[in-house]
């Protein structure tokens, strides 16, 4: 979201980057001698909250949080940001002096999300990729409308990275036993747009230089459980949705350690962090950002999650979206020096 380059400069930079990537095999997640993936270190990483559950244009200033502020004299439609039960990020990396950017998740209300993107000056010409954490409506419902609205400015053949089962219809079983559809992002609808390349992944996969999709998040803790009411169809009945294809984004800040960015963390935010550490061989955590899906969790699960995140000693903790007020409050109380409040329009800047 920094000052943009013109399209000619962008294409020139992209071509240079592509050559470098091919030379270094970075697009294939080459392993090092220990069998770990090597994520290129980024000199700078920026995560902009394009939509989230909470908006506050008077939120406190923090050294890593560039808050959106209203410019004097602008009409309300030019500064009033939209909050919703949904999530979308703009992720930007700077690797070897070259800037890269992609969208991770897309929110639910396309009108509100698109207005936020315009207010926040998202440069669609610069986007190199798209990524979806999982197939729930609050992360993809705005996707098709956004793509249609920005088709003329997005690059032809832009890749959309998704995990397994991203396109299945998902359901919620209510207390009464009734099963209610939560909607479906259909692969055919995306293909019909004619300019997006769908990349379905199972393993850790680079999205842009300096940022990887996690691949499958292994469930190793004994307390992070999938919510039983979330189900999917199988064999003529409904089975518990295990979210085996849910993706987190893993980034590596030069000299500081890993940044884990989650959508909902249905498989557990501690599990996501442990997966990132395992597949990279990097223990040091700089930041954990995202939806932690603790909104329905019992107090003891919240307490254990906070304790285990605290134990890995991230420099910053930024809960968003489905973390829930009680859990956000717990992180703020237990990790006051690391905690930073997320609000719509905030740009979190890591590195320089």
DSSP letters spanning 195-252 = SEEEEE-SS-EEEETTEEE--S-----SS----TTEEEEETTEEEE---TT---EEEE
Q: Under CATH, which number does the domain 7-351 receive?
A: 3.60.15.10
Listed residue (183, 180, 147) closest to 168, CA to CA: 183
d(CA 291, CA 246): 12
Tell me how many degrees the CA angle 47-38-12 measures, rounded to the nearest 5.
Answer: 60
Residue 246: phi, psi to the nearest 5? -65, 135
Listed residue (189, 173, 192) closest to 181, CA to CA: 173
Between β-strands 129-131 and 98-106, what pairing exists: parallel, antiparallel or unpaired?
parallel
Residue 76: its pLDDT value, please? Answer: 80
Helix (H) or strand (E) holding 160, with range, is: strand 158-162
d(CA 252, CA 39): 6
Listed residue (68, 103, 106, 69) closest to 84, CA to CA: 106
Q: What ranges do the domains of the chain cover? A: 7-351
Secondary structure (3-state) at 260 = strand
Q: Among positive and negative, which fits the CA dihedral 23, 29, 32, 37?
A: positive
Residue 54 Cα to chain centre, angstroms: 16
Between β-strands 129-131 and 158-162, what pairing exists: parallel, antiparallel or unpaired?
parallel
Residue 194: its pLDDT value, please? Answer: 97
* pLDDT by residue, tens only, the chain of 352 residues: 433 334 334 333 443 334 333 333 334 333 333 458 999 999 999 999 999 999 998 899 899 999 998 877 788 877 899 999 999 999 999 999 999 999 999 999 999 999 999 999 999 999 999 999 999 999 999 999 999 999 999 999 999 999 999 999 999 999 999 999 999 999 999 999 999 999 999 999 999 999 999 999 999 999 999 999 999 999 999 999 999 999 999 999 999 999 999 999 999 999 999 999 999 999 999 999 999 999 999 999 999 999 999 999 999 999 999 999 999 999 999 999 999 999 999 999 999 8
Residue 77: its pLDDT value, please? Answer: 77
Listed residue (107, 109, 120) closest to 80, CA to CA: 120
Residue 342: phi, psi to the nearest 5? -95, 135
Residue 285's alpha-carbon distances to 209, 253, 257, 312, 319, in angstroms, are: 19, 9, 5, 7, 15
Helix (H) or strand (E) holding 304, with range, is: helix 299-311
Q: Mark 163-185 as b/e (b = at least 16 C-beta within 10 Å).
A: bbbbbbebbebeeeeeeeebebb
Residue 20: its pLDDT value, please? Answer: 37
Please say whether the beta carbons of 182 and 176 come within 8 A. Answer: no
d(CA 98, CA 13): 7
Residue 13: its pLDDT value, please? Answer: 40
């Amino acid at each position: 979201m920094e000052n943009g380059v013109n399209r000619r400069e962008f294409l020139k930079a992209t071509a240079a980057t592509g050559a470098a990537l091919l030379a270094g095999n970075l697009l294939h997640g080459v392993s090092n001698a220990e069998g770990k993936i090597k994520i290129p270190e980024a000199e700078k990483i920026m995560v902009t909250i394009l939509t989230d559950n909470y908006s506050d244009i008077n939120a406190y200033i923090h050294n890593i949080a560039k808050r959106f502020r209203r410019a004097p004299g602008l009409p309300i439609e030019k500064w009033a940001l939209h909050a919703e039960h949904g999530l979308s990020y703009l992720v930007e990396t700077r690797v070897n002096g070259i800037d890269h950017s992609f969208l991770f998740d897309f929110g639910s209300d396309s009108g509100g999300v698109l207005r936020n993107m315009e207010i926040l000056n998202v440069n669609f010409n610069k986007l190199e990729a798209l990524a979806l954490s999982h197939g729930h409506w609050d992360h993809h419902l705005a996707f098709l409308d956004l793509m249609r609205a920005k088709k003329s400015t997005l690059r032809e053949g832009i890749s959309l990275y998704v995990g397994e089962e991203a396109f299945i219809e998902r359901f919620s079983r209510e207390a009464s036993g009734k099963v209610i559809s939560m909607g479906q992002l259909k692969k055919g609808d995306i293909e019909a747009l004619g300019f997006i390349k769908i990349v379905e992944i199972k393993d850790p996969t680079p999205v842009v230089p300096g940022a990887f999709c996690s691949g499958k998040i292994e469930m190793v803790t004994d307390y992070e459980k999938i919510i039983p009411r979330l189900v999917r169809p199988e064999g003529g009945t409904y089975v518990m949705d295990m979210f085996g294809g849910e993706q987190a984004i893993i980034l590596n800040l030069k000299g500081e350690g890993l940044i884990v960015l989650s959508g909902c963390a249905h498989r557990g935010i501690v599990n996501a962090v442990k997966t990132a550490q395992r597949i990279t061989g990097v223990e040091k955590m700089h930041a954990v950002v995202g939806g932690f899906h603790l909104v329905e969790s019992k107090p003891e699960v919240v307490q254990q999650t906070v304790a285990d995140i605290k134990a890995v000693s991230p420099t910053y903790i930024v809960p968003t979206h489905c973390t829930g007020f009680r859990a956000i409050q717990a992180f703020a109380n237990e990790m006051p020096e690391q905690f930073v409040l997320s609000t719509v329009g905030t740009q979190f800047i890591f590195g320089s």
